[in-house]
Structure 1
Amino acid sequence: MRAVRLEAIGSIALREVDKPAPGPEDVLVRIEACGVCGTDRHLFHGEFPSKPPVTLGHEFCGIVEAVGEAVANIAIGDRVTGDPNISCGRCSQCRAGRVNLCSNLRAIGIHRDGGFADYVVMPQNQAFLLPADLKPTHGAFCEPLACCLHGIDLAAIRPGASVVVLGGGVIGLLVVQLAKLAGAATIILSTRQASRRALAEELGATATIDPSAADPIEAVTGKAGLVPGGVDVVFECAGVRDTVEQSMRMAKAGGTVIIVGVVPQGMKVAVEPFDLLFRELKVVGSFLNPFTHGRAARLIASGAIEIDKLISRQVSLEEAPQVISNPAAPGEVKVLVVPGKG
């Protein structure tokens, strides 16, 4: 079968490899669609820890083609989405219910072979059923949505709250939709790209900011700003130094900052501890998708989340290495790799 292999940092290629076989508690899934994530690009550049050589791809959906003899409740022909994050269930973090912080965490598409391939094998516990009539391209959004749901859970948005989302990529645009569903009355998205600002307003943002045209902090919190004094919750979804630093200055006293964006490993930002203390800010990292993947699958299946407008293009496995090894195109939100694409 074909697989997109990260062979070493900075080296990625489409290769022919052996088709995997499921173990007793595994399912073999024929991949229908797999999303290209910013993390895939971080992996290519060595900015996120991984275990090459490995097949990338952790946002996938597909059809079960074979099951191990101990598999229950999943059948050949089922459409499933895969939670890529496999916790051990034994360490102190797992026993405390913090499975995303598992000491022995292993992720499909990062530490073991993933979904940029014709097939993937995963433990049955990582598979979540999807409706047979769901678009496969929608199923590939379950993993990023699950990560956003964790951030929304941590933020504890109250109806009527004010929210700022920094970053207009797929994570920011999913968070806009979830914040609206959670009851936020004011949702402001900040991004340089005009097409993403327009899309954010279609998806529920009450206002958008171009940070290249105006000081975003003043535009939000200033006397003539959108929310003078700051907002209840800030979601940092871009994973860059400027927005991480802006996030803490946009929150009101007593507000909450949720860091969702994946920053390059080793990047440093300037923080004023006195400001965190004096304004009693809560700054929380939101890592992965603990116990949210099933909820994300149900939300996707319900149609409550707009997906089609987030899909910028679909590419073949042959095109995937070029896409992953280069920056996202201007205005691009999500690229899906579709193995069956001619």
Structure 2
Amino acid sequence: MRAFVITGPARAEVRSVPDPVPGPGEVVVDVERAGVCGTDMELFSADMAYLRSGHAAYPLRIGHEWCGVVTALGADVDPRWARLRVTGDTMLGCGTCDRCASGRAHLCADRYEIGLRRGWPGALAERLPVPAWALRELPHGVDATAGAMVEPGGNAVRAFQAADVAPGERLLVLGPGTIGLLVGLIARARGVEVHVLGATAASLRFARSLDLEYVWTAETLPGLRYDAVVDASNGEAMPGRALELVEPGRRVVFIGISKEPSNVDSRTVVFKDLTVVGILGASAGLDGAIDLYNTGDVDPRPLVAATVTLDDVAGILAGDRDPAWGDAPKIHVDPRR
């Protein structure tokens, strides 16, 4: 089969690789659609922390946002999975440690991450091996585009839940990228007043196109009460800004990851009596994202600017983007094209 492979910093190619064979408890999925995200770009540029820690190494088969059809079953897999449209969890814990046993498999020290960690091959390929326990069935109301947005949507669900805002309260989202916008759309669907802080004219213009009414720059942000702040940005100064902006006694949620270490003053946390929550991975939010998409409460499809081929991915990772695609933040790949 054909697969996209990063061979070294800023080097990649589409290769012919062996078809995956499902092991016990595994399935093989024919990939319909896969997303490219900022983490993939950092793996391509060699900026991603896993490359420094040894949790990832070249050559890399990336792609952790995906959907497809189950076409092969390993031993001990329930036959009901055959031919179902699915997506699945990226974080694959060992299943035996205390963290896995307590529902924290996404934090397992020995976990694999599809397309990211410890060499588990990713979804920028025609086919993908996945443990059956990690699968989520996609209902008919969730098409291929929305299906490949379940993983970022699951992250956004977790971030919104962690913010603990009620209908009529005010949420500030820092960073109008894919996850930040999804947080905003989920919050709006739940009756929360959503404000978005961004930096570029294009990102702010796109946020407004989603009918997110309150969109600001650092210079125009009003001095309102923000009942929670979600930092979905990659700016190292933004975590500290989030602590400054949030209402005392409320919550700040960190889901964005900056390239450089951010400075957070713990005195601000103490003197404002804040709850600060970090979010790693979509695992506990996947079912919620599927439900939001299936009911139509949130439509993630406008966030996808274009769907390209495997042969186009290297250019995308290098920052090449057709202006005709507009301002939407997400690029999808159809490995069958």
Q: Normalization by structure 2: what TM-score?
A: 0.90
Q: What code does the residue aligned with 2:217 have?
A: D
Measured on the aligned residues, the alpha-carbon RMSD in Å equals 2.0
1:145 Cα offset (Å) = 0.4
2:114 aligned with 1:121, yes or no? no
Partner of 1:224 in structure 2? none
Assess if the C-alpha contact under 8 Å between 1:21 and 1:28 holds in 2: yes
1:328 Cα offset (Å) = 6.7
- Post-superposition Cα deviations, 1:20-67, rounded to whole Å, max 9, x if no partner, equal 111121111111110011111122223231233221000001111111
2:14 aligned with 1:3, yes or no? no
CA distance in 1, matches of 2:320, 2:59: 22
1:201 Cα offset (Å) = 3.5
Assess if the C-alpha contact under 8 Å between 1:2 and 1:17 holds in 2: yes
After superposition, where does 1:290-305 map in structure 2 within 5 Å? Answer: 290-305=283-298
CA distance in 2, matches of 1:148, 1:237: 9
2:198 aligned with 1:191, yes or no? yes
Q: What code does the residue aligned with 1:17 have?
A: V
CA distance in 2, matches of 1:302, 1:140: 17
Partner of 2:106 in structure 1? 100
CA distance in 2, matches of 1:272, 1:304: 37
Q: What code does the residue aligned with 2:307 have?
A: Q
Partner of 2:330 in structure 1? 334
1:146 Cα offset (Å) = 0.6
- Post-superposition Cα deviations, 1:262-297, rounded to whole Å, max 9, x if no partner, equal 223xx2223233222211122221111232212222
Assess if the C-alpha contact under 8 Å between 2:70 and 2:85 holds in 1: yes
Secondary structure of the 1:165 match is strand
2:278 aligned with 1:285, yes or no? yes
Q: Normalization by structure 1: what TM-score?
A: 0.89
1:103 Cα offset (Å) = 1.6
Q: Please, which of 67, 70, 74 is the counterpart of residue 61 of structure 1?
A: 67
Q: What code does the residue aligned with 1:284 have?
A: V
CA distance in 2, matches of 1:124, 1:97: 17
Q: What code does the residue aligned with 1:101 have?
A: L
Partner of 2:269 in structure 1? 276
CA distance in 2, matches of 1:16, 1:245: 46
CA distance in 1, matches of 2:287, 2:265: 38
Which sections of structure 2, spanning at least 5 residues, go unmatched? 51-55
Secondary structure of the 2:33 match is strand
The percentage of counterpart residues that share the same residue type is 29
1:197 Cα offset (Å) = 2.6
CA distance in 1, matches of 2:58, 2:162: 32
Assess if the C-alpha contact under 8 Å between 2:240 and 2:265 holds in 1: no
Partner of 1:40 in structure 2? 40
Partner of 2:222 in structure 1? 220
1:261 Cα offset (Å) = 1.0
CA distance in 2, matches of 1:156, 1:190: 19
After superposition, where does 1:139-178 map in structure 2 within 5 Å? Answer: 139-178=147-186
1:114 Cα offset (Å) = 0.8
1:260 Cα offset (Å) = 1.0
1:180 Cα offset (Å) = 1.5
Deviates more, 1:321-330 or 1:17-26: 321-330
Q: Relative to structure 1, is the Cα distance of residues 69 and 274 closer, same or farther in structure 2, using a 3 angstrom cutoff?
A: closer
CA distance in 1, matches of 2:31, 2:181: 25
CA distance in 1, matches of 2:275, 2:9: 35
Assess if the C-alpha contact under 8 Å between 2:206 and 2:328 holds in 1: no
